[in-house]
Amino acid sequence: MQATYGATAITRIENNPYCLATDVVGIGFKTADKIALALGHDFNDSERIKAGINYALLQASSQGHTCVPDNTLLEVTAGLLQIDELEAAEVFNQLIKADLVRTETLGGVRLVYPEYLYRAETGVAHRLLALRDNVNKLWKVDYQTIVKNWEDQEHIELAEEQKEAVKASVEHGVFVLTGGPGTGKTTVVKGILSVLEKAGCKILLAAPTGRAARRLSESAGQSATTVHRLLDYTPAGDGQFWGRNEENPLEADAIIVDEASMLDIALMYYLLRAIPIGCRLILVGDVDQLPSVGPGSVLKDIIRSKSMPVVRLENVFRQAELSPIVRNAHRINRGLPPEFEVDSDFTFHEFEKEEEAAQFVVDLYAKLTGNGKWQDVQVLSPMHKNPCGVQNLNAMIQKRMNPPRPGKGEINTGGIILRVGDKIMQIRNNYEKDVFNGDIGCIKAINGRNIVAGFPDRTEGEDVTYAAGEIDDLQLAYAMSVHKAQGSEYGTVIMPFVRSHYMLLQRNLLYTGVTRAKDKVVLVGSYSALNIAVNNDKTRKRYSLLAERLQDIQNFN
C-alpha cells in the first residue's frame, strides 16, 4: 500500500478504504469493506455503495455477462451490502448523472456495463463490421477450379454446403463456419487453405488454447499458435501488454481461428484490434458447445445477429456416422437420449450411490491406464465438489495410482499434495516457460521446493522447472472440469453424471464432454441425471448486446 500511495497512504485509506479494492492487487471489495467498517465508516456511505455496485458488476461478468439489467444490479448490490434497494438506487442515479457508468437501453430495459466490457463489446461490433465491409478482393481467383484440383489431389469430393463455405471464405471479409462432430469442418478448413494459398494470401492459424492450437496445426498441416501468442501478449505488472494492435497490426491476408466458441468478448476485442482492414477473418467452431469461460458469447452472438455470412454444416458423413460417439453427440444435441450397447465404444454404468459411482470411475481409470497410457484417458466431471466432483476424484485416483512411499518427493500446496509421478495440468498461460492453460503433464522430480514437470506435447522440449512461487500454476489432472477440457481431445473420456450435479446438468455440457472423446466414452452414474441433462436446453442467459449492435450499430453509442 505504501508503494501504491506513497506518503499519503494512511490518509487516503482512512478517507476511502474502498480505493484499496481497485488500486491494490490482492485486496478485493470484501476485504476493503471489512477495513472500512472497522474504521467506523457507515453502512450507507456513498463510497461503500459505489464500490458495492462495481463489485456486483464484476460478479456479473464472472458469470459470463457483459452487462446486466439495472434492477438486477441494484437488487444484488442491496443484498450484498445489506442496505435498502432505494439507497443503492440513489447512488446509482448519481453515477449515471456524473457519467461514471456505461449503460444501454433495449426494449425499455437499461443495461449496465463495466467500462472495460463496454469498450470491448462496442469495439468488437465496429471492427467486425469494418472487416466485413472492406475486404481486399482476390482478383483472378478461379476458386472452383482450385477446389476441383484439390479434391482430385486429396481423392475426396466436397458436399455442396462445404463448397459454399469455401466460396464464402473467398468472397467475404468475415465468415463463420460451424457444425458438430463428423460434419467435415476440418476438411473445409483444408479446402479454404488450398484456395487462399493459391491466391497468394499470407495465412495465420490460431486457437484460444495451446491444445486447440496443436490440434489445428496437426489437422491443417500448418503451424498454428494461441491467440495470445499471435498477439504477442505478455503480462505487464498488474496489467497486460499486447504487442499487436492498431499501430502494429498482424501481417496477414487471412486469419483462421479454430474453436471460436471459446473466445470471450475481451480476447475477441484484442484480436480484432490487431487485424488490418482488408484482411479476411474466418471463425471456425461448434456453437452448440459450452460458451467461453470469460464474459460474452461471441460466436453465438455473431451467428444470432445474421449480419455476417455463416455456413452451418449439418450433414454427418457416412464414415463418421459409424462412430457411436458422433451418432450420440448429435442425438444429445437434438434432445434425444444417447443409445448404449454393451461392449461398444459408448457405454453407461448405473449406480444408485454416488460413492459407488466414484469408486467405479477410479477403478476404470486404473484399469485403462495400467499400461502407462495416462495421456489417453481423461475423467471429466460437471462440478468440482461432491463425491463425483473433480476434487474428490483427483484425490481418490491419486491415492490409487500414485500413493506416497518413502523416498518419493511430494509438496503440499494449499492443502493439495503434488507428488512425483502425478498427472498435472497447467492452469495459466506462461509464455516464458512455453506452457499454456490446460496443458497436461507429469511430475518427474521434486527438488526441495522446485518441481520438474514433463509435458509431452511441448514443442520446446518436455521438461519445465517450477520454482516455489510458481507451483500454484499446477493442479492435479486425473480429473478435470468439462470447461477445462474445451478445445482438447482424448482417446477415452470417463464422465460421471449424478443427481448432486443438478446445477450443471445441461445439454451443452454433456455434449461438450462427449465430443472431447476420440475413441471411447464411458458415462457413469444415474440415468435420471443423464436424462435431466439431455432435456435441459435452458442454458443460463448471458446478457450481451453484441448481436443487436451488429444488426443496428447506428442506434447504439
Summarised one tens digit per residue, pLDDT across range 309-368 is 999 998 887 666 678 999 999 999 999 999 998 888 999 999 989 999 999 999 999 999
| Separation between Cα atoms, residue 19 and residue 48, nearest integer Å | 10
Going by pLDDT thresholds of 50, 70 and 90, the confidence category of residue 287 is very high
Higher pLDDT, 211 or 381: 381
Residue 25 has pLDDT above 60, yes or no: no
Is the model's pLDDT at 112 over the cut of 70?
Answer: yes
Q: What is the mean pLDDT of residues 45-72?
A: 88
Between 405 and 28, the more confident residue is 405
Please report which confidence band the pLDDT of residue 131 belongs to, taking 50, 70 and 90 as the band edges.
Answer: very high
Q: In angstroms, how far is CA 390 from the centroid of its own chain?
A: 18
Model pLDDT, residue 7: 45
Identify the helix (H) or strand (E) that includes residue 56: helix 46-62
Residue 26: which pLDDT band, with cuts at 50, 70 and 90? low
Residue among 20, 18, 119, 19 at smallest CA distance from 67: 119
pLDDT of 214 reads 87
Predicted confidence band at 2 (pLDDT cuts at 50, 70, 90)? very low
Q: What is the mean pLDDT of residues 425-438?
A: 82
Highest mean pLDDT among 24-28, 164-168, 363-367: 363-367
Whether the Cβ atoms of residue 451 and residue 500 lie closer than 8 Å to each other: no
Tens-place pLDDT, residues 200-210: 899 999 999 88
Q: How far apart are CA 267 and CA 196, in angstroms?
A: 25
Q: What is the pLDDT of residue 5?
A: 43
CA angle, residues 228, 453, 457, in degrees to nearest 5? 55
First-last CA distance in the chain: 37
- Residue pair 368/492 in contact (Cβ under 8 Å)? The answer is yes
Nearest to 492 by CA among 522, 465, 464: 522
Residue pair 465/451 in contact (Cβ under 8 Å)? The answer is yes
64, 133, 358, 382 from 385: Cα distances, Å: 21, 48, 12, 9
Mean of per-residue pLDDT scores for the chain: 87
Residue 6 pLDDT: 45
| Residue 277 DSSP code | T
Reported as a pLDDT band with limits 50, 70 and 90, residue 15 is low
Say yes or no to pLDDT of 262 above 70. Answer: yes
CA distances from 141 to 107, 290, 389 (A): 45, 37, 54
Distances (CA, A) of 298 to 165, 305, 420, 550, 555: 20, 11, 40, 11, 20
Grid cell in block for residue 411? 509438496
Percent over 90 (pLDDT), the chain: 52
Instruction: Using pLDDT thresholds of 50, 70 and 90, give the confidence band for residue 20.
Output: low
Q: What is the pLDDT of residue 83?
A: 85
Highest mean pLDDT among 143-147, 221-225, 269-273, 438-442: 269-273
pLDDT value for 1 = 44
pLDDT at 299 over 60: yes
Q: What is the mean pLDDT of residues 472-487?
A: 92
At 489-504, the pLDDT tens digits run 899 999 999 988 777 7
Residues 308 and 531 sit within 8 Å (Cβ to Cβ)? no
Check residue 530 and give its pLDDT.
Answer: 93
By the 8 A CB rule, do 225 and 258 touch? no
| Whether residue 3 has pLDDT greater than 60 | no
pTM of the complete model: 0.89
d(CA 481, CA 73): 29
> Which residue intervals of 411-526 are DSSP H helices?
507-514
Q: What is the DSSP string of 359-387?
A: HHHHHHHHHHTTTS-TTTEEEEES-SSST
- Nearest-10 crossing angle of helices 507-514, 527-535: 110
Kind plus residue range of the DSSP H or E element containing 59: helix 46-62
